[in-house]
Each structure stands twice: as C-alpha cells, then as structure tokens.
Amino acid sequence: MMINRRSLIAGGLGVVATSAFAQHEHHSGQFERLNAPGRIDLPELHRQHAVTESPAPPAPRQGQWQPRAPLPLPRTEMAWAAEYRGRVHLVGGYAEQQVDKPYHHAYDPGSDRWEELPQLPRGANHVGVAALGDRLYAFGGFTEQNRNPHDGGFAFDGERWHTLRRLPEACGAIACVALGDKIHLIGGAIGTDNRRSIDWNLVYNPAEDRYSRRQPMPLGRDHTGVVAVNGVIHLIAGRVDSFHTNSNLHHTYNPNTDEWTPRAPIPTARSGHGTVWYRDRIFVMGGEGTNRVYGQTEAYDPVRNTWESYAPMLTPRHGMGAVAIGDAIYVAGGGPQMGGGVKSAINEAFSLG
C-alpha cells in the first residue's frame, strides 16, 4: 500500500528506529513514572515507540546533539518553553505523580545549570507561554490529565507573577508567540468529557490587558508548533482532537492582512513537538503519534518553501520544552513514550557547529 505523505491528516505512521540505544547510557535514572515515585531508567516501551527516520531529504550538514545538565526532577507536558532573559523557562506540567504542578525552572546555557523560580499561581499542564518585552506570559492549561482547562493568564516580571485578564474561554495546549508588541494565542483544546480542538486566533495586548479575535486558523488543532519569522507566524502540525489524527498542515498568518496562507506540509505529522527559529530555518523536533514518539529533526526553509532532515534527537520525546539560545537549540524534559505515563529530566542541545 502506498502512503500519501502529504495527506492533511496522518495517524502517526513511521519507521521504528533500529539503531542501538547505547547513546542513552548517560541518561540512567533520569525518568519517573506518573503513577509511582522513584527514578527509573529509560523504559523498554521507548524502544518500541521511538521513530528517528525522516522522509525528508537529508541536509548537507546534519548537526549534532549533546547531553546537557538534566532538570532537577523529571517533568513532562509543560507544553512549550520560552526564552526569557537569556534562559530557558519551563512552566507547569506533570511532576512528582501530579498533573497540575506549578513548577517554574530556568536553565542557563552558559553555566549549564538549572534554577527553581517563583511558581506559577495556578498549577496546570500544557500551559501556553511566550516572552514579550520584560515579561514572561503564561496562558491557560489543563488541571487534569490533558483535559479540564482553566482560563487564567499570568505574567512574570523576573521576581513575581501578576494576574492578567482571563481568557475568553478556558483552554489548554494553546500555541503562543510574541510578534511586535502583542502575543498571539492560536488553537488549543477545550472541554473535559468532550475535549476537542478549536480554531482560535486571539491577540493579547499587554498594554490594554485585552484580547481581540482575528481570522480563525484553517483547521482547529492543539499541541501545534508556532514561531514568528519576518513578520509572519508559522503554525506547524498538531493534533485534531487526538494524537491519533495528527496533522501535517503548515500555514502562515500575516497579522497585517489577517490572512492565512498554506505552506509546504511538514514531512512527519506530529503533535507535542518543539518548534524554534535557528539560524535561517524553522527547526521541528520530537512529538507524539499513535504508538510513536518522534525523534526526527526536520527544518523548513521559508525562502525555498522546502523541508530537510537533520540529525535525530538522542532521546525522542514529546511534551518537552524547546528553545533556541545563541547557537544551539535546547530541549528539556518530555515523555519518552506515547502518553504521559513517564516523565524525563533529559536535557539535550542541538547545534550545527
């Protein structure tokens, strides 16, 4: 049977990695189960779920991943990290057998050290975060395991958190990105028993502490990747209600014209992945699908509208934080197997050298 790799919805098909896992020896004891305390090694199920081969053509320079200082404790489902004042900031998520932790850790690439900072006022998982000006912003999140969202908004000034105007509706797994003097909040999921993806396109104005609605995204999704490049927003992949129906869609949004434009789809449909602007490409890594945890590193060239593949992650994960600082991409935490049953303290960095 021939698989159409450019179909709009994909169910997580891929090739399971066959390479040896000796590379994970330095990760001993950096994992913990959600339902039981105590550190464990890389679970066997990871080897069954891990996928590292990409259908995209390989880039001439593959780059390299290297281990960095692990998180103080295993965490996952923080949703997405943000660069704030030169450090990687991880907010909320699963930790210590709970799914609504308010933890706030920051990683300094220069010293290769983590610091625990003032906690989020309301603990949650899948918190949307973005940095703008002198503040770090956090929106929504789920108070139960990937469901039952709240409508809170908060801003961190480097010392303490401040409460913002509430979201128009409780929502989690929102894609958040700063552009100009505003923050764009796109997609996400609402509901508890009837959880579903939405097509939100909100703009938050910090100066007025207000939200406004813009043209909805073409297809409601959550757990998407988002990044702003040259005045436009790229929204990449994500799940349509569930990771069983991941999308490979890739659109740009122009806030000046309030229009969405289709771009080349990502080669590997995925959700819960990291998305960053690094050098002159949009790099996407990690993510989740049906019985799959993706390690593919795929990058998009906005000039040529094409994708290439780079060296895969040392430890495929989903629900982790990914941030580009200086000349490297840092990817911390995340789940090493499908679902949120296992958390990791893994921290790895990618560089083209």
Report how far residue 33's alpha carbon sits from residue 66's, in angstroms, rounded to the nearest whole number: 24
Report how far residue 75's alpha carbon sits from residue 97's, in angstroms, rounded to the nearest whole number: 10
Report how far residue 187's alpha carbon sits from residue 180's, in angstroms, rounded to the nearest whole number: 20
pLDDT 10s digits, 119-128: 999 999 999 9
pLDDT 10s digits, 10-68: 333 333 333 333 344 557 799 999 999 999 999 999 999 999 999 999 999 999 999 99
- pLDDT of amino acid 23: 46
Structure tokens at 204: 């938050």
Structure tokens at 84: 């704030």
- Is 10-351 assigned to CATH 2.120.10.80? yes
SS3 109: coil
- Local structure of residue 217 (DSSP, 8 states): P
Left (φ > 0), alpha (ψ -120 to 50) or beta: where does 6 sit?
A: alpha
Name the stretches of the chain with pLDDT < 50: 1-24
- pLDDT of amino acid 80: 81
User: Tokens 């806030």, residue?
Assistant: 255
Report how far residue 138's alpha carbon sits from residue 156's, in angstroms, rounded to the nearest whole number: 8
- Local structure of residue 167 (DSSP, 8 states): P
- pLDDT of amino acid 26: 55
Q: How far is CA 108 from CA 85, 114, 204, in A?
A: 10, 6, 28
CB burial readout 222-250, b (16+ within 10 A) else e: bbbbbbbeeebbbbbbbbbebbebbbbbb
* Beta carbons within 8 Å of 242's beta carbon, 6+ residues apart: none
pTM (two decimals): 0.93
Structure tokens at 175: 């894609």
Structure tokens at 251: 């659109």
Report how far residue 85's alpha carbon sits from residue 136's, in angstroms, rounded to the nearest whole number: 9
